[in-house]
Amino acid sequence: MRIALACPYAFDDPGGVQTHVREQADHLRERGHEVVVLAPVRGRGVLPGVRAVGRPVNIPYNASNAPIDPRPWSVRRVAAEFAAFGPQIVHVHEPLTPSTSMWATFAAKVPVVATFHSGAERARLYDLSAPLLRIAARRIAIKIAVSETAAASARRRIGGYFEIVPNGTDVERFATAHPADLGPGTKVLFVGRLDERKGFPVALEAFERLAADRPDLHLVVIGDGPDRASVSGLSADLRSRVHLLGAIPNIDLPPYHAACDMYLGTAVGGESFGMVLVEAMAAGLPVVASRIPGYTEVVRGDVDGLLVPPRDPVAAALAVARILDDPRLAQRLRAAGLDRARSFDWAGVIERLERLYERAAGQPPTQIP
């Protein structure tokens, strides 16, 4: 089958949707499909199989940044790529965002499958594109959400039925990685943008509470953002035990997970899934995570990991200490977490997508009224 994937965000920026689309394309190709990816791109170096159909503009979104191409005339470039490739199915991600995926939804002359990732209650992107939302929605043959949280968010805007197909993970890539050399000591891992929504200040305060009487404890931080400077408020000793590694491409993450002892995910809200949690569990790390929508669809409290109230560094510190001080609990969470992660493996996700593609292919494309 010839499948065109559309990503609304700058494909050469880090991000969960970009990673998902990139890996989805790879796994579809492994199963014999012809795949092209359409996305806005910042630079000149584009991966094979990716067509740059616009330039991104940074728009504030969900307490973060969305690098999108909001120029509606980009639809002409998208249509030209479709004419050259001849897709049988167009699979768009975040089609309600005024960017490449929305333009692909309008330009498609074949059935459209759409995946909704966001769980945001309010978003400027949706406000900007409100007049186009229901028109775009009528072009979609099958609507997919990565979680019930994401489905509820999209349903409030456009209604209708949503299939739930989670984000995929290359479990073995994380489960079998050789550890990076991060030096001695016990290491707690944090991965994400260093800002308030991702909860980096909460993680840092929890670490500060724990590290005072645990001289071998280290915090390994992967990501960047405006709260990076908050580390300067720690004592010199504690600062030396916070390892700010910066933004690292997803493909290069597994060795860092393998070098750590547990994962701390302290996002405060606005999450629709929790890919960072799945990847940590796939790596065999016990997980402490915030009890927020999206995260609770990945981690089942006291089964796959420990859940704590958001914005509560004391509770986070106590949960981390509980795992560090109880080897049997740590081992139970490692085993349960890895088993849970396997339910999100790409092999199963791709098979579910293929069945939906076959179903969509039997439907006529919906025309703009």
Give residue limits of the domains in the chain. 2-168+345-361, 171-342
Mean of the per-residue pLDDT values for the chain?
92
Per the model's pLDDT, the better-predicted residue between 60 and 96 turns out to be: 96
Does the domain at 171-342 match CATH 3.40.50.2000? Answer given as: yes
Q: Where in the chain does DSSP place strands (E)?
A: 2-6, 34-39, 50-52, 57-61, 64-68, 89-93, 112-116, 140-145, 163-164, 186-191, 217-222, 242-246, 262-265, 287-290, 306-308
Domains 2-168+345-361 and 171-342 share a fold: yes
Residue carrying the six token digits 């973060």: 64
Fold of 2-168+345-361: Rossmann fold (3.40.50)
pLDDT in tens, 317-338: 999 999 999 999 999 999 999 9
pLDDT in tens, 121-170: 555 555 555 567 778 889 999 999 999 999 998 998 888 999 999 999 99
Q: What is the mean pLDDT of residues 61-70?
A: 76
pLDDT band at 59 (very low <50, low <70, confident <90, very high): confident
Amino acid at 155: R
pLDDT in tens, 73-112: 999 999 999 999 999 999 999 998 889 999 999 999 999 9
Percent pLDDT > 90 in the chain is: 82
